[in-house]
């Protein structure tokens, strides 16, 4: 390392350049970069592989990005990109660069990517892909020498595809390409019953992944140096399976979501599922994740006797020992979540050293050492597993997610036996969309590649260019507005923003206005919404992320507005009550405006409903979309019933009968909505 720093210093002194320009664009930030002025106009390019195999996946991503910038691949070209093994002059760098490091040089008319491994050459090309600078109306490449390698061996994303939003194959592939472009190398599909196992077909939901699709994704990921790791729940989180009567006797409690360790058939069944999934990815991944998290109340039903005889730790490890053996027999290392093990220290000591622990914690904490140390002391390899904090939220909670990832990865890099990072994306309520998580996902991947600590301000400054291919910071600023809107919604106790979006505003308006600055929430949301509406053109890259951002801004604004509607409705109705029989013109105004408020609520529900459907259809298969749309339809019906009741009160009781109005408590009685909390 010292010799490499000395070489870099000499290069900087000789070239009189500062290693800062590249850091304003490239993500993850290269470890060492000396970048100078533009030396090569870039309109056309060609890539030559010299003595090494052609990197099809790298070319696909490079061509996709540069074509979006208006650059053309042809021969001869303005810039010739040479890809080769390390030259003799860089022989001393081989050991330091490891399996994924590279050297990238750019000089007049050429770029040279050097690495002794295919992965290293791939990542060198990924850095080159982000290197062009604007130059007048065109592009150029700056003089550069970059020496780079990852801080963590495994840099992954765990993707929940089991709670509703099941991605299309196109969006699966886009996720894999994007993860790879930002130097991630592990992609984990979280399965409860979303894999259509031929052995257990009845438990699969509509649009589940088929064995052929899983095999195709594993092969596709390998093209981009990404290992696809199935994550199959094998103890808890298995309600869909256990809801079937033929498997109900495998449950810990009646039709539970936890399998019973005391029932041998339960373990045999999940062994078969694990084997079936592992067979589709065999040879393309070193890992298979067997789940193991949150088996609540295990040992309190059918396994109570086993737990009493053996104890919780022995029962848990005894159940998993054959599953570990099954995974090992398929040529993979078993991975297991760490929450149960941390709760039972004796189980940590007894865990086989071949098992890797995925150590998940999602709160923003000042230190995670207390979670990491027990496994490190036991000699257990582990991956830190922060969260994108998207579950139950309108948009990912960027403040919590980035703080969580930055500190957890920092502590992981300082802990022996931590071999990687696994950023987790969850869709617990079946409503959140993956496109809402790109910022925290790529932040976590960058944190895992770069030596800790990562600086989020520096990441933010690079994000527009690295992800969207535009350098004007507008879209990163829009993300700041969405972050602010989500931060505005912090309540005590904490309520997810999707929960606040759906609950009856009339019943909750007092506590909402007591804890939330509703006006600020709407202004933050509308700042992003206005900017997204006035974008003159979509960005060159990842333009499909914008509809999800716009939808989130729209939903935050709607959320704030519906509480304002409830408050304003009550104020106008109270005024109508006060003037009933005394000032018909004022009563008419108040009631008609109250009706306008309900129309506004109804119309906005229709607009947001359709925008949500379009956002879902951009990334997900059709199954379960109707579950979310039913909420919009139900609330639209509720508002229509409230409007009909108000219309009837106005036309019949007030004008045709006695010029009197029902009390506010009586107005919507029997509708189950629109009433104040008792």
Q: Is residue 462 part of a domain?
A: no
Residues 133 and 275 in one domain: no
d(CA 567, CA 507): 10
Residues 594 and 547 in one domain: yes
Residues 166 and 69 in one domain: no
Asked if 288 and 274 touch (Cβ cutoff 8 Å), the reply is yes
Q: Is residue 39 part of a domain?
A: yes
- 53-112 pLDDT per residue, tens: 999 999 999 999 999 999 999 999 999 999 999 988 777 777 789 999 999 999 999 999
pLDDT attached to residue 547: 96
Ranges under pLDDT 70 in the chain: 1-24, 677-678
Q: Is residue 528 part of a domain?
A: yes
Q: Is residue 539 part of a domain?
A: yes
Residues 195 and 314 in one domain: yes
Distance separating the N- and C-terminal Cα atoms of the chain: 68
d(CA 38, CA 506): 61
Residues 124 and 179 in one domain: no
pLDDT attached to residue 199: 85
Residues 127 and 164 in one domain: no
Residues 144 and 158 in one domain: no
pLDDT attached to residue 25: 84
> 100: number of CA atoms within 13 Å, CB side?
21
Residues 397 and 349 in one domain: yes
Distances from the Cα of 461 to the Cα of 394, 396, 482, angstroms: 24, 19, 16
Q: Is residue 348 part of a domain?
A: yes
Encoding tokens for residue 417?
A: 């036996």
What CATH number corresponds to the domain at position 201? 3.20.20.80
Residue 250: which residues within 8 A CB-CB, separation 6 or more?
241, 242, 259, 260, 263, 265, 266, 269
Residues 159 and 134 in one domain: no
Which residue range(s) make up the domain with 181? 154-454
pLDDT attached to residue 9: 39
Instruction: Tokens 């940590």: give the residue.
Output: 348
- Count of structural domains, the chain: 3
d(CA 32, CA 264): 55
- 505-561 pLDDT per residue, tens: 999 999 999 999 999 999 999 999 999 999 889 999 999 999 999 999 999 999 999
Encoding tokens for residue 156?
A: 């992954």
Q: Is residue 334 part of a domain?
A: yes
Residues 604 and 506 in one domain: yes
Report the SS3 class of residue 106. Answer: strand
Residues 549 and 433 in one domain: no
């Amino acid at each position: 390392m010292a010799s490499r720093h000395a070489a870099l210093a000499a290069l900087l002194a000789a070239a009189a350049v500062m290693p800062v320009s590249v850091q304003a664009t490239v993500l993850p930030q290269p470890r060492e970069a000396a970048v100078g002025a533009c030396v090569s106009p870039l309109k056309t390019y060609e890539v030559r592989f010299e003595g090494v195999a052609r990197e099809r996946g790298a070319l696909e991503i490079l061509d996709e990005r540069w074509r979006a910038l208006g650059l053309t691949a042809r021969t001869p070209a303005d810039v010739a990109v040479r890809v080769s093994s390390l030259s003799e002059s860089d022989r001393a760098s081989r050991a330091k660069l490891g399996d994924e490091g590279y050297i990238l040089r750019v000089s007049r008319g050429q770029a040279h990517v050097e690495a002794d491994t295919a992965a290293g050459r791939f990542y060198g090309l990924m850095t080159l892909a982000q290197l062009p600078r604007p130059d007048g109306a065109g592009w150029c490449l700056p003089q550069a020498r970059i020496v780079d390698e990852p801080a963590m061996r495994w840099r992954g994303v765990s993707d929940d595809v089991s709670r509703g939003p099941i991605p299309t194959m196109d969006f699966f592939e886009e996720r894999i390409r994007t993860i790879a472009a930002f130097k991630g190398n592990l992609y984990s599909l979280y399965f409860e019953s979303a894999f259509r196992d031929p052995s257990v077909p009845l438990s699969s939901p509509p649009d589940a992944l088929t064995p052929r699709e899983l095999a195709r994704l594993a092969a596709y990921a390998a093209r981009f140096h990404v290992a696809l790791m199935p994550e199959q729940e094998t103890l808890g989180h298995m309600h869909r399976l256990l809801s079937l009567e033929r498997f109900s006797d495998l449950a810990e409690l009646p039709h539970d979501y936890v399998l019973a360790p005391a029932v041998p058939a339960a373990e045999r069944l999940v062994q078969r599922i694990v084997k079936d999934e592992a067979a589709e990815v065999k040879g393309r991944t070193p890992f298979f994740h067997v789940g193991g998290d949150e088996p609540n109340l295990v040992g309190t039903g059918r396994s109570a006797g086993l737990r009493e005889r053996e104890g919780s730790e022995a029962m848990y490890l005894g159940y998993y020992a054959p599953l570990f053996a099954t995974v090992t027999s398929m040529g993979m290392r078993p991975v297991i979540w760490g929450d149960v093990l941390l709760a039972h220290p004796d189980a940590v000591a007894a865990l086989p050293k071949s098992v890797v622990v995925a150590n998940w914690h999602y709160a923003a904490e000042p230190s995670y050492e207390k979670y990491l140390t027990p496994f490190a002391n036991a000699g257990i390899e582990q991956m830190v597993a922060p969260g994108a904090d998207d579950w139950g939220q309108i948009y990912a909670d960027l403040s919590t997610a980035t703080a969580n990832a930055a500190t957890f990865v920092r502590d992981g890099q300082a802990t022996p036996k931590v071999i990687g990072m696994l950023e987790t994306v969850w869709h617990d309520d079946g409503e959140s969309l993956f496109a809402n998580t790109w910022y925290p996902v790529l932040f976590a991947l960058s944190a895992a590649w770069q030596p800790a600590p990562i600086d989020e301000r520096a990441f933010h400054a690079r994000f527009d260019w690295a992800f969207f291919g535009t350098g004007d910071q507008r879209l990163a600023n829009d993300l700041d507005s969405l972050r602010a809107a989500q931060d505005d919604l912090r309540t005590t106790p904490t309520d997810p923003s999707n929960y606040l979006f759906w609950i009856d505003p009339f019943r909750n308006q007092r506590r909402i206005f007591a804890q939330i600055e509703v006006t600020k929430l709407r202004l933050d949301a509308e700042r992003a919404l206005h900017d997204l509406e006035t974008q003159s053109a979509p960005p060159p890259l990842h333009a499909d992320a914008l509809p999800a951002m716009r939808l989130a801004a729209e939903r935050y604004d709607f959320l704030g507005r519906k509480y304002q509607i409830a408050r304003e409705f009550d104020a106008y109705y109270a005024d109508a009550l006060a003037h009933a029989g005394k000032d018909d013109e004022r009563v008419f105004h108040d009631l008609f405006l109250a009706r306008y408020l309900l129309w506004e609520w109804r119309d906005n529900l229709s607009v947001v409903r359709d925008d949500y459907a379009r956002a879902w259809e951009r990334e997900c298969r059709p199954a379960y979309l109707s579950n979310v749309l039913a909420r919009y339809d139900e609330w639209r019906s509720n508002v229509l019933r409230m409007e009909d009741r108000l219309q009837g009160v106005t036309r019949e009781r007030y004008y045709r009968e006695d010029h009197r109005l029902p009390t506010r408590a009586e107005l919507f009685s029997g509708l189950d909505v629109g009433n104040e909390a008792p």
